[in-house]
Amino acid sequence: MLRIVDQLRMVPEVARLAVRTPRNAAVAWEGYWSRVRTTGPAGEVLWDAEIGAEAEPYAAVMDEYMDPSMPVIDVGCGNGRWTRWLSRRFPQVLGVDVSASAVQRAGDESEGVRSVAYRTLDLTVPGAGRLLRAECGDCHVFVRGVFHVLRPKQREQLGRNLRDLVGARGRVLLTETNYRGNPLSYMQSLGARPGSIPAPLRRAIGGIPVPGHFGPVERRAALPDSIWTVLADGPVLIEAVPMSGRTTTSIPGYFAMLGSR
């Protein structure tokens, strides 16, 4: 039961943590990743759960809509867990992330994995998509958990870069959290209580931009129907690391498979 009185009692602690987050998003992400010491299900990174049932709808739409002979760019790859998963399905995968420390960690965690590479890059910078396309040609794009942490203008710019990347043959598979309640009820749903905020959530509140939600309406604003065709979309459960004694944590999300017109 999500009690409003508990939400109000969490406000001072959440405000104390949030005030530490740098205003510049790129600086915030680098600061966050540079302090990460452990990843995976028992680690410090909120969204870095072991890949399980969440991947099933992605695999199904990939089989249906993505040419398996094309390369993939994993935008906002973090420590590369999904980049490595993608490398089992596609011949070449490039993970890109705005944080150099994330890219370093992704490389370290991917030792011995063939056909993955990583690069530090801000995909909200105009022209970034064109530059990558010049190197890789038409490619697919996988994006998990990036649009929802961007401001509306940055979402639009990321959308333009993705358009440049996919060309005529590539597809975008995006998957984002889409919790519709207020930020405090969101924290409660992840196990936060007054005086007790799970450690991975505490690190996120005190280190990275506040997440928004991202569903069909937000998708249309960032990736308009005049430019993109929706091949498949729907709700999904995004898996996060176990918190507060739970064995799994699932967050309501939204996924979409898109092609350019």
What is the binding site for ligand SAM (CB under 6 A)?
A: 29, 47-48, 76-78, 81-82, 96-99, 102, 122-124, 144-146, 149
Min dist. Cβ of residue 16 to ligand SAM (A): 22
6 versus 109: smaller Cβ distance to ligand SAM: 109
Give me the residue label for tokens 């990558």: 132
**3 state DSSP class of 88:** coil
Min dist. Cβ of residue 193 to ligand SAM (A): 23
14 versus 241: smaller Cβ distance to ligand SAM: 241
Residue nearest to ligand SAM (CB): 76
155 versus 171: smaller Cβ distance to ligand SAM: 155
Taking phi over 0 as left and psi of -120 to 50 as alpha, with beta for the rest, 127 belongs to left
149 versus 168: smaller Cβ distance to ligand SAM: 149
How distant, in Å, are the alpha carbons of 34, 157, 213, 249 from that of 161? Answer: 26, 6, 21, 32
Min dist. Cβ of residue 39 to ligand SAM (A): 9
Q: For residues 207 and 35, give the distance between their C-alpha atoms in angstroms, rounded to a whole number.
A: 10
123 versus 236: smaller Cβ distance to ligand SAM: 123
Q: What is the largest CA-CA distance in the chain?
A: 54
Min dist. Cβ of residue 194 to ligand SAM (A): 26
CB-based contacts of 191, cutoff 8 Å, min separation 6: 198, 201, 243, 244, 246, 249
